């Protein structure tokens, strides 16, 4: 009985390991999309399993296969034989135990849509002339060479530079239209900063990223739940999620936006539910109050579309 219990524990450990690898393979295949080959992730998972468990635990004849079930689901099947230990010496009992594992991952598709800002403000008392832009960021198309070397092209993977607001005297009234970045693009921000003398006579808005201050901008990878990953400045902008538009005010006015100088910026980059809001605040100078340039955006809505919104395991 002791040998039987030891082998049962061994089988359960193998089952857990196989399930983990099958789940990982299903997620990996779903991320690659239906047009991608199944062979690479399947072979990677099989080799990983055999390397981790070894021939003393799992027979090398392990079978792992995968397929798409319709357009949204990935199925992964694993079949193998677990080598026994103490039970090998028991007459009439097979030294190997058959084991089968199944995993299913599902892909949900949606498009993320942004409305024009509810509010935008550039502090007229800021030392510099500042102008904020929207633009579309396409991470798969950017110049992957060294940005410090001559010839680096900031315009690759970034387009539709659209001015939003500035601190000219008086402020420029820009016709704000949020760029349509399509299913592969991500709405991002660009801050242009110049000498304060340009407040009285600002130059025309930039049409591309050539020569604009601070490089490419605040590259964001937007997710379907409203969250985003930063690819640009890790400190600008400050981001704060507001449950209501009224909350997107300084704390002294009854809101949730922190106040004070010489502080570290809040970065609430996580999910932004439909109907809520997000505050963006940039720092212009050296006092670190992160309220020199501010924008309040309604959280994006999501509609049925072609962009992956989430991938999850179906249990």
- Residue 312 falls inside a structural domain: no
Q: What is the mean pLDDT of residues 39-58?
A: 92
Report if residue 311 sits inside a domain: no
Is residue 274 included in any domain, yes or no? yes
Co-location of 175 and 293 in the same domain: yes
Verify that 143 and 284 share a domain, yes or no.
yes
Give the distance from CA 56 to its chain's centroid: 41
- Predicted pLDDT of residue 214: 46
Per DSSP, what are the bridge partners of residue 158?
137
Are both 195 and 283 inside the same structural domain?
yes
- Structural domain of 162: 115-299
Q: pLDDT at position 227, please?
A: 85
In a domain, residue 11? The reply is yes
Tokens 């601070």 — which residue? 214
Q: Are residues 271 and 137 in the same domain?
A: yes
Domain co-membership, 146 together with 209: yes
Of 110, 136, 151, the residue at which a domain comes to its end is: 110
Q: How confident is the model at residue 275 (pLDDT cuts 50, 70, 90)?
A: very high
Domain count, the chain: 2
User: Residues 314, 104: contact at Cβ < 8 Å?
Assistant: yes
- Last residue in a domain, options 110, 130, 151: 110
In terms of domains, do 277 and 256 share one?
Answer: yes
189-211: average pLDDT: 86
For residue 308, being part of any structural domain is answered with: no
Residue 1 has pLDDT above 50, yes or no: no
Instruction: Indicate whether 93 and 11 sit together in one domain.
Output: yes
Indicate the pLDDT class of residue 87, thresholds 50, 70 and 90. low
Q: Are residues 274 and 216 in the same domain?
A: yes
Tell me if the bond preceding 237 is cis, omega within 30° of 0: yes
Q: Which pTM was predicted?
A: 0.65
Q: DSSP class of residue 95?
A: S
Quick check: is 306 in a domain? no
Domain-terminating residue out of 64, 87, 110: 110
Based on the domain organization, do 93 and 180 belong to the same domain?
A: no
In this predicted structure, the answer to whether residue 278 has a pLDDT above a threshold of 80 is yes
- Whole-Å CA distances, 86 to 141, 166, 276: 57, 77, 61
pLDDT digits (tens, 9 = 90+) for 101-152: 999 999 887 777 889 999 888 888 788 898 999 999 998 898 888 877 888 8
* H or E element that contains 164: strand 158-166
Average pLDDT of the chain to the nearest whole number? 86
Asked if 267 and 219 sit in the same domain, the reply is yes
Residue the block writes with tokens 């008392």: 125
- Same domain, yes or no, for 131 and 241? yes
State pLDDT tens for residues 16-45. Answer: 999 999 999 999 999 888 889 999 999 999
Do 139 and 262 lie in one domain? The reply is: yes
Angle (CA) 253 255 261, round 5°: 75
């Amino acid at each position: 009985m002791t040998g039987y219990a030891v082998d049962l524990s061994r089988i359960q450990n193998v089952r857990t390991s196989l399930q983990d690898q099958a789940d990982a393979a299903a997620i990996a295949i779903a991320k690659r999309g239906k047009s991608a080959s199944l062979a690479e992730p399947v072979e990677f998972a099989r080799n990983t399993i055999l390397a981790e468990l070894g021939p003393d635990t799992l027979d090398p004849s392990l079978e792992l296969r995968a397929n798409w079930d319709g357009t949204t689901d990935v199925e992964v099947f694993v079949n193998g034989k677990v080598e026994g230990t103490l039970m090998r010496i028991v007459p009439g009992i097979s030294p190997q135990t058959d084991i089968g594992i199944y995993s299913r991952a599902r892909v949900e598709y949606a498009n993320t849509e942004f409305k024009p800002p509810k509010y935008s403000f550039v502090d007229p008392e800021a030392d510099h002339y500042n102008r904020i832009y929207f633009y579309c960021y396409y991470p798969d198309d950017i110049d992957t060479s060294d940005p410090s070397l001559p010839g680096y092209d900031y315009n690759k993977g970034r387009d539709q530079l659209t001015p939003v607001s500035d601190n000219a005297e008086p402020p420029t009234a820009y016709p704000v239209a949020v760029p349509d970045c399509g299913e592969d693009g991500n709405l991002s921000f660009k801050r242009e900063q110049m000498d304060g003398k340009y407040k009285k006579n600002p130059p025309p808005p930039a049409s591309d990223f050539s020569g604009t201050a601070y490089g490419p901008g605040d590259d964001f990878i937007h997710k379907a739940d409203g969250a985003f990953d930063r690819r640009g400045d890790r400190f600008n902008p400050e981001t704060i999620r507001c449950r209501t538009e009224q909350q997107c005010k300084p704390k002294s006015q009854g809101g949730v936006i922190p106040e004070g100088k010489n502080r570290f910026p809040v970065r609430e980059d996580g999910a932004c539910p439909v109907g809520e809001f997000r505050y963006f605040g940039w720092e212009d100078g050296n006092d670190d109050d992160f309220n020199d340039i501010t924008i309040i955006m309604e959280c994006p809505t999501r509609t049925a579309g072609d962009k992956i919104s989430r991938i999850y395991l179906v249990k």
